Amino acid sequence: MSPVHYIGPRFVYWRLSQAGAHCGRSAEPIYHVYRTRTGGDILSRILTALASLIAKTAGLAALASGFALARVEIKFADALPKSFSYFPAMHEFKKVADDTAKGKLVVRLFPEGVLDDQRALMEATKVGSLDIAVIASQVSQQLVPEHGIFGLPFVWIKHDDYLHFLQGPIVAELGKKMEVHGLKVLTFADGGVLAVMNSKRPVRTPDDMKGLQLRVMQDPMQVDMIRAMGGIPVPMGTAEVYTAIQQGQIDGNTTGPQLLLALKNHEVAKHLTFTRHGRAAAVVVMNLKKWNVLSADQKAALEEGAKAFFKTDAAFYTSNPGTNNDETVTTLRNAGAVITEPDVESFRKATLPVVQAFKARVKSPLVDQALKDAGYQ
C-alpha cells in the first residue's frame, strides 16, 4: 500500500514497519501485541490521531511553501537623483503594484544610481540580475535606434502633444522592439524637455551658441543637435558636470531645468535658455524572462504600477508645485539665473538636417508616420 495515496493507521503502521526494518527487526510484533491486549481500539485511535497530525503538518508545510513560491520580489532601480521625476514615479509604482498584488509580489527600490548608471542598469536588466530599470530613451536607442525619435529637435513643441504621442500606438510598437533584446517595456513616460545653461552669455539664436562647450549625454543625436545649434558638444556623465563647469573645462550643460536645478548647475552657470530643443522618454524596462514566469495577477499588478508611474511622472512636469516646468524656471531665476527667451524658429531651421539624417539612417515607417502626425515636414 502506497503512503502517497493513503494516510491512516495502516500508513503509520507501514512507516513503523519500515523503521523497524532499518533496525533489523519488524514492527509487526508490536502491532500484534497491542491489538491482542487492547482489542485494537486504543492503538487504532492513537494511530488515527498520529496520522491526522502528520497530514495537517504536511498540509501546512505545503501551504507555506506555496506562499513562498507565489510571493515574488521585484528589484527596480534608476540612476538619477531623488529630486528628479523618476523617483516619485517609482515610489508610486511600488505603492500601487504592492497594493494590487495583495501579497503575491513586492517591489524593492534602488534609487540614485546605487546600482550604477543607466547604461549599466539596462544591461543588468537584460541579463536578469536586475528586474526593472527606468532609463532614458537616449540609452534605450542603443538597442532600438528608432527610440532616437523621442529626442528629435523641435518636433513636439506642446507638452500635451508629446504626452499623447507617448500613449499612442506608434510608441507601443516601438516598445515591442525591445523584446528581441530580452526586455519588456512596461511604459514610456516623459523624461523632460531640454534647456541650455551656460556660464558665458545669454543665448537667443544659434549665433549666440557659437564656441560654447556644452555637456550633452553620451548620445550621437544630442551631439549632432548641439553642433547644429552652433555649440561644441562634450559628451559627459551627469556626476562630473558641476566640477567641469566650475573649473572651466566646459561652459555649461544641456538638460532639463529640473535636472539642472537638482545638479545645482545654476551655482556655476547663470545663463539659462529654455530652448525645448529636444525631449526624452523615460523607458521602464523589465527582464522579459522574469515577466514571462509571473502569474496573471502579478503581471496585472505591475501594469497598474506602470500606469501610476506615467501619471506621477507627467504631473511632475505639468502640475506639481515646485517641480513643474514653469515653477522650476522661476526657482532658477530666483536663485540668480538670467533667463533668455529663444528664437525657436531659427533653432528649428538650424536643426532640420538632424531630423532628415535620422530618418535616412533608421528607415522606419513608424518614425515617418510619427513625424507626419506631429506636423513636422
- Torsion sign over Cα 342, 344, 345, 346: positive
pLDDT at 377: 64
SS3 203: coil
pLDDT at 62: 41
pLDDT at 376: 84
pLDDT at 70: 59
What are the start-end ranges of the E strands in 53-198? 72-77, 105-110, 132-136, 183-193, 195-198
SS3 211: coil
Q: How many residues can be counted in the chain?
A: 377
pLDDT at 358: 96
Which domains are present in the chain?
9-68 (no CATH), 71-196+276-373 (3.40.190.170)
19: CB partners within 8 A, 6+ apart: 27
pLDDT at 312: 98
Q: Which one, of 71, 64, 67, 68, lies nearest residue 105 by Cα?
A: 71
Give me the DSSP letters along 83-128. Answer: TSTHHHHHHHHHHHHHHHHTTSEEEEEE-TTTT--HHHHHHHHHHT
Amino acid at 3: P
Low-confidence ranges of the chain (pLDDT < 70): 1-70, 377
pLDDT at 71: 85
CB atoms within 10 A of CB 273: 25
